[in-house]
Structure 1
């Protein structure tokens, strides 16, 4: 790698592009350029690690051309402190320079990085949500599937007629709740949505800072799901609220869940760890949550995998390590922690 190019930001700037970076591991979250530079220089840990990696989408475009932006979906390893392993980033940048030089946009760039070890393809839900979010940011029209999804959520097609509603249409609808009557229609529709729509919809809403009115409705729906022992409806509510503006309402549903009959259900625990992780920055709630993970009997690997996932998150790590030294632990939690080191 040349002395002049030490970061991806410099590579993109040197190629004359406009660019922005997103984390797409847990929620799709735009990363501030100064924050991204600090991450690249290993000055700060990566804020949202998942499975020991940073999962990034870097969108860039030639300011002089009118073509659609390019996107690199990149996966880089993190060290034990959740800091970027710069050798991997350097290796990727070297491969880009060797394959493309500084011509990283234009026809010559198409397909040149397809076999790059750091490039990955997000799953269908993540890809649809990312495409929808980018169109909103660029003030571009939604996909061709959006209007049909609007019709569906406005109850004009019948909620059982979901088969023709495209995943991209659901994503566009979820990312445009402040358009038309979308929010109002969704609130009226929620209780009537079949699972085939509820599940992909919640996979889109988990990337949206939904307004408090929708979180209030989801809190009530989640509490009903707890009373009915309906894990699918509960996890849909938790996912949909997880990035909402009213984090206090999300905390209420997490607390209600952790004190319910569903408190040791694996899907529920994995949803809280993966999506509602912000709520686990509270040491007392984290203690209760990890105790519930320890009580889970069916999947032996559940506790160690959730521990490994959460201990990598910089805002949770000190509280989780503090739990290792805490004396007033249940016997189940003490045993589960002991097995981590055996």
Structure 2
């Protein structure tokens, strides 16, 4: 498969940094948040989390995050990974994007000094003229700007084109044709960006029906990257139910197939169906497979607000010995998520824990 890394071409200009520098700056008295900076520059803007799942963050919530009134809702590795899309209606039709990575404190709140440092560097380099040709390349040495991986870039590009009502990439038609014609087996001609465009356009034509008809026969080289795109999509209840049924048909030998089903449905609004699939996996022979545990933690974390499910999950993680430090890593990841933090900390006081889970929790403090 061609893994074309299309950097939001044709519709979005991306500002990406490759080096880091360190210096001290303070924001001006007139501009105290990124939201104010973007607004004062005369731009329209949107914010997305792109760490766990590409999720829009509304402006009110983002203001609360910037003012540390609330923790960042989707922390990953003690950082907030965000994409800010902005455009100047007077100057250009093409939006710009900053991919930013900011550190968080132990309560998952934004470390304001880092945000201030970034904004001050922007003001020094660009002033309030954030768009236009003169802005290009002036943030190349910014330590808070980073390059997402190819999967995230492809998914974000596809989503932005849908939201902006722009045409899909040149790779989309090949993927659409592949799914519409079951006799075609030349998956090597499919591009990652085309799969992303297809995933974001399941409601177009017969795309969803064609996906369901081909799902079980898809080679892993197509199904796995497609699952990496679908996890960012709020798929329909019908497709969620289909994927749940397919997951429960998998045998222990089909580990990748089970993971792909869970990843693909994880962005659905059918949280109950996702929870049922997590329960099924936790009650199966796959429950102590590191990849399954990591997929549940990374994609199905919303289901772990249920105390019994969380206990079962963490107990399985404690019993998994294939990767050293897996339990500690999962605990640190989940306890940082605001919606899960009280539940995860509750495990420290839980009665009648298994001996293995108790020992694993003890290692957290050794």
For the superposition of Structure 1 and Structure 2, which TM-score range results when normalised by the shorter chain? over 0.9
SS at match of 1:229: coil
1:109 is aligned to: 135
SS at match of 1:117: coil
SS at match of 1:262: helix
Residues 142-221 of structure 1 correspond to what in structure 2 (within 5 A)? Answer: 142-155=168-181, 158=184, 160-221=185-246
Contact 2:182 2:214 in 1 (8 A): no
Q: CA deviation at 1:229?
A: 3.0
2:105 paired with 1:79: yes
Taking the aligned partners of 1:5 and 1:266, their CA distance within structure 2 comes to 46
Distance 1:95-1:157 versus aligned 2 partners, 3 A rule: farther
SS at match of 2:65: helix
SS at match of 1:120: coil
Q: CA deviation at 1:67?
A: 3.4
2:341 is aligned to: 317
Distance 1:121-1:157 versus aligned 2 partners, 3 A rule: farther
Q: CA deviation at 1:217?
A: 1.2
Worse-superposed segment, 214-223 or 18-27: 214-223
Taking the aligned partners of 2:329 and 2:182, their CA distance within structure 1 comes to 44
Contact 2:252 2:285 in 1 (8 A): no
Residues 1-342 of structure 1 correspond to what in structure 2 (within 5 A)? Answer: 1-155=27-181, 158=184, 160-225=185-250, 227-342=251-366
Contact 2:252 2:286 in 1 (8 A): no
Taking the aligned partners of 2:361 and 2:154, their CA distance within structure 1 comes to 39
Taking the aligned partners of 1:194 and 1:340, their CA distance within structure 2 comes to 41
Q: Deviations over 1:139-192 (max 9, x none)?
A: 11111111111001112561x311111111000000011111111111111111
Q: Deviations over 1:103-157 (max 9, x none)?
A: 1100111111122100000000000000000111111111111111100111256
Contact 1:229 1:262 in 2 (8 A): no
Taking the aligned partners of 1:35 and 1:233, their CA distance within structure 2 comes to 36
Q: Deviations over 1:62-115 (max 9, x none)?
A: 111233110000000000000000000000000000111111100111111122
Taking the aligned partners of 2:90 and 2:67, their CA distance within structure 1 comes to 29
Contact 1:23 1:56 in 2 (8 A): yes
SS at match of 1:50: coil
Question: Greater relative contact order (Cα 8 A, min sep 6): structure 1 or 2?
Answer: 2
Contact 2:64 2:70 in 1 (8 A): yes
Q: CA deviation at 1:245?
A: 2.2
